[in-house]
Structure 1
Amino acid sequence: MNPPSSSSAPYLRLNTPRFSHNNLSFSPYLENRFALASGSNFGLVGNGRVHIVDIDPNAPGGSGLRLVRYFETRDCVFDVAWNEQHENHIVAGCGNGAIKMFDVTLEGLPIQSWHEHSSEIMSIEWNNLNKDQFITSSWDSTVKIWSSNRATSLITLPSSKPQQLYNATFSPHTPNIVMSCGANGFIDIWDLRMGPGVKSPTLSISNSSSGSGQMEEVLYCDWNKYDSSLIASASKDGTIKVHDLRSAGRPGSARVVGRHDLAARKVFWDPHRREGLASSGYDMTCRVWNINQSTPSPIHVHSNHTEFVMALGWSLFDPGLLASAAWDEEVHLYRV
């Protein structure tokens, strides 16, 4: 039986000419607002943008999505995160290693800037428990913890060896626990309570291919919002895996729950259902999975993008509402 697809189902769409998308983030304050991290020329060269978009049934042209404002940056924007202490503030991680904070009620220049990373910032996330902190990961092989009240980073977490880091994320259960992943094929768990001098993760989980045993790059990782022992990963070989931290490293601790035809770029747990996962990839699809199924088969597929789907996100207020954005210069919203 073929999985249900939204190719024939209604969805909202917004086109942003000349700007492709790398990430998106729903506002934790306003149920109808999200932001896009974007760049010109697929992020290879040229400037970037932060697009602020509202879900609006009265939007021009009947698209259902209205571009509220955008902010220009000198380099590509690879990720965005909303300030958990201020509903109008958003931070952007840029390709030149800079972080910019914007106020969506103001036009023009950022209201605050940081610059310590020496290469592309691939992820940025605000801590939803310690609400004065945010985290970045970079291709310079470091993860950094920041405070909006300081001009310099609080902690720098080094990689075990030079590698491109793709993501770093705070645990939604314990504010001082951090997870990161990257090109070396490991998912690392860090405990920030060890202080600024922390040199190594408390746990490293290898992401090896079940067939060859070869290490596969981990392009994204995410914490389950209901079970602190479960994490999910998206890999270069296209697999979507669920890892059980209670038995990490033992046979059976990692389980393939989904697969893309090409590399899987993003994976996010459903914030409203323990068993739900969404993923996107270079096969130009977004797929939704139920981890309780005995065989990996998507319960929903969105195949309307015409380029790599780099951005994905669940609505925080509206269960079942999913957004995806791609290098085709479009963002889509649909129900799953």
Structure 2
Amino acid sequence: MKVKEVSETANVAWSPSDVYPAYLACGTSAQQLDASFNTSSTLRIYDLNIGQTNLDMKLAASVELPARFHALKWSGLGGERTGLIYGGCENKAMYVYDASKLMNKAPDYQVCTTEGLHSGPVLTLSCNYMKANFVACGSSDSEVTVWDITNLSAPIIPGKKLSLGANVSCVEFNRQVEHIFASTCAGHCVVWDLRKQTSIMTISDTVSRMKASSIIWNPSVATQLLLASDDDTTPWAQVWDLRYATSSLKTLEGHQRGIVKTAWCVHDGNLLITAAKDNKICVWNPNATERGLEIVGEFPSYNQWCFDMDWGQRDPSLVAVSSVDGCVSIYSLLGSGQPPTQSDKFSQIADSFPGMEMPAVAPQGATPQPIRLRNPPKWFARTAGASFAFGGRLLSWNNQSKSVEIAQVVTEQALVERSIQLEAALSQPHFAPFCQAKAEAAFQPSDQILWQYIGANFDSSPRNKYMELLGYSPTQVSTKIHPLISETEGFNAEFLADKMADLATNVSETEAEASLPIIQLEVEEKEENNHGLITQALLVGDLESAVELCIKDRIHPHALILAAQAGPELFAKVYIIYWYYFS
């Protein structure tokens, strides 16, 4: 649908993609007259005024010029931020304007001009897409000239002039190879090489005898171009590949009258627009594999054909179209917009022809329908992406590179340093020093104790380390027990043997079991016994000291049991002492 419009009979050119907001340049078109038959020439720059829902555009700059335009281009490769505007005019000259100075209303907006250097009107021009200072111009009598705007005194002649004696209808630089451009003249397409300064190929269809009037290069494939014919007998376009120039790759048929203008989307090589004299503007997919499916959409028809159009550089969904009824319209491929009114146009014509009978109701065109593309445009696809991975790694990609980049993202430097220390400890391995360092660096007592217990697992004697952390160090326990252990009282071996014999005959098993006291050992130290120290000695593994304390407290059965675990020597000693006391 139409999103904006302005009453201008003008050639159009979009501002470069780097310029925000987007602007539209409109230069009064040559060989076109409006209803008022005004012959003045004006270059206007419009702000799209997207914030408003109406069809009006905001005028940003306007300047009167000496001649009307056959061609208008806006290149963003100039030294200025907003680029340069190139105009091919009917007074045999090309003008170059500084867009920034035009919008700032500076008096020195003109950069340079080629007045008096062409043999006829400049009918077409094309700016080099990679070198800002080069521009190709086509004029009458098969004249093709390339200019360096920094040195207009030395024009570049691409090769031997063709002896066709006709106007050059179109010139176009290749978008990927800076020294290649093509021109059309008298139905022939000539491909030029500026390095060799000669024509390298001439393309003409000898089968269908289609007369090419316009040319545009494929933005994706450097060797492919599209030729279109404005002849009503051959109203089609052909896709050619310079590598197989004996015949065209594909013919796009859908118009009933000659094609006036073509535009190939730079952001999506599958979208091509053609405007013809049958009042139709068709959207094509020139890369479609099935015949009959090339047309993917059609612009609304308003019973007027278009002579110029340009595809939006910043917003590829917008297309500017100039029609012969004196209206510059901006259409959206996304289907948004408003239906325009034609009563104003009709009333202007009625005012210009007073006294003539006019119908009571202004004629209206067919109800405009929104543009519906069969496939989503490529600029809707993701041009870049990123995803976080484990360990703070970031994976990123973009459509300009075939590789995936992996970067380390550091959000907490302290966390990264701790991770490095942990990896170093795991690789060595040095677990005990790592746990000790973590315990020393801990702020909370609970964290400090936790790391001490974890580090105890990697000590040479984990059990003793655990006891130390619990407060039962072997050295400390030994220091407590040593003063309490006295020398064992002496005994007579013969007397002990007699006592053992008597014990075997006089004491029954039941009486012996009943005579054994029940002892409950505790960890806490008490004054009346050494049970707490016995338990501490057992915890630290000092069985000998525990046995001595059991003997001291006269709990000989426990001493025997512990001595049996300590070894035969200590058991024999305790065994003798036991029978000594019970004899």
**Counterpart residue type for residue 191 of structure 1:** D
- Out of 53, 59, 73, the residue aligned to residue 25 of structure 1 is 73
Task: Give the greater-gyration-radius structure (CA).
Answer: 2
**Counterpart residue type for residue 100 of structure 2:** D
C-alpha separation in 1, matches of 2:309 and 2:107? 25
C-alpha separation in 1, matches of 2:74 and 2:281? 23
- Out of 235, 238, 246, the residue aligned to residue 185 of structure 1 is 235
The answer for the alignment partner of 2:61 in structure 1 is 12
* Equivalent residue pairs, number: 282
- Out of 285, 292, 317, the residue aligned to residue 244 of structure 1 is 285
**Matching of residues 254-265 of structure 1 within 5 Å:** 254-265=296-307
Distance 1:166 1:15, change over 3 A: farther
**Counterpart residue type for residue 148 of structure 2:** D
The answer for the alignment partner of 1:212 in structure 2 is none
Q: Give the structure with the higher percent strand.
A: 1
Q: Is the 8 A contact 2:99 2:109 kept in 1?
A: yes
Q: Is the 8 A contact 1:233 1:240 kept in 2?
A: yes
C-alpha separation in 2, matches of 1:65 and 1:249? 53
TM-score (norm 2): 0.44
C-alpha separation in 1, matches of 2:278 and 2:205? 22
TM-score (norm 1): 0.74
- Out of 77, 81, 85, the residue aligned to residue 34 of structure 1 is 85
- Out of 319, 322, 345, the residue aligned to residue 277 of structure 1 is 319
C-alpha separation in 2, matches of 1:277 and 1:150? 36
Q: Is the 8 A contact 1:232 1:241 kept in 2?
A: yes
1:122-159, Cα deviation, whole Å (9 max, x unpaired):
11111121222001122x11111111122321111103
C-alpha separation in 1, matches of 2:309 and 2:150? 31
For residue 254 of structure 1, report the CA deviation from its aligned partner.
Answer: 4.8
* Gap runs ≥5 in structure 2: 8-55, 349-583
- Out of 85, 97, 112, the residue aligned to residue 69 of structure 1 is 112
- Out of 167, 172, 184, the residue aligned to residue 137 of structure 1 is 184
Q: Is the 8 A contact 1:219 1:233 kept in 2?
A: yes
* Gap runs ≥5 in structure 1: 41-47, 209-214, 307-336
The answer for the alignment partner of 2:439 in structure 1 is none
Q: Confirm whether residue 52 of structure 1 aligns to residue 96 of structure 2.
A: yes
For residue 262 of structure 1, report the CA deviation from its aligned partner.
Answer: 2.6
Percent sequence identity is 15
Q: Is the 8 A contact 2:4 2:329 kept in 1?
A: no
The answer for the alignment partner of 2:251 in structure 1 is 204
C-alpha separation in 2, matches of 1:252 and 1:294? 23
Aligned-residue CA RMSD in angstroms?
A: 3.1
C-alpha separation in 2, matches of 1:36 and 1:289? 24
- Out of 192, 195, 211, the residue aligned to residue 149 of structure 1 is 195
**Counterpart residue type for residue 308 of structure 2:** K
C-alpha separation in 2, matches of 1:86 and 1:146? 16
Distance 1:218 1:254, change over 3 A: farther
For residue 242 of structure 1, report the CA deviation from its aligned partner.
Answer: 0.4
C-alpha separation in 2, matches of 1:275 and 1:144? 32
- Out of 211, 215, 220, the residue aligned to residue 261 of structure 2 is 220
C-alpha separation in 1, matches of 2:113 and 2:71? 15
Distance 1:2 1:148, change over 3 A: closer
Q: Is the 8 A contact 2:3 2:332 kept in 1?
A: no
The answer for the alignment partner of 1:82 in structure 2 is 127
Q: Is the 8 A contact 1:237 1:264 kept in 2?
A: no
Q: Is the 8 A contact 2:2 2:330 kept in 1?
A: no
- The structure showing larger relative contact order (alpha-carbon pairs under 8 Å, at least 6 residues apart) is 1
C-alpha separation in 2, matches of 1:154 and 1:82? 20
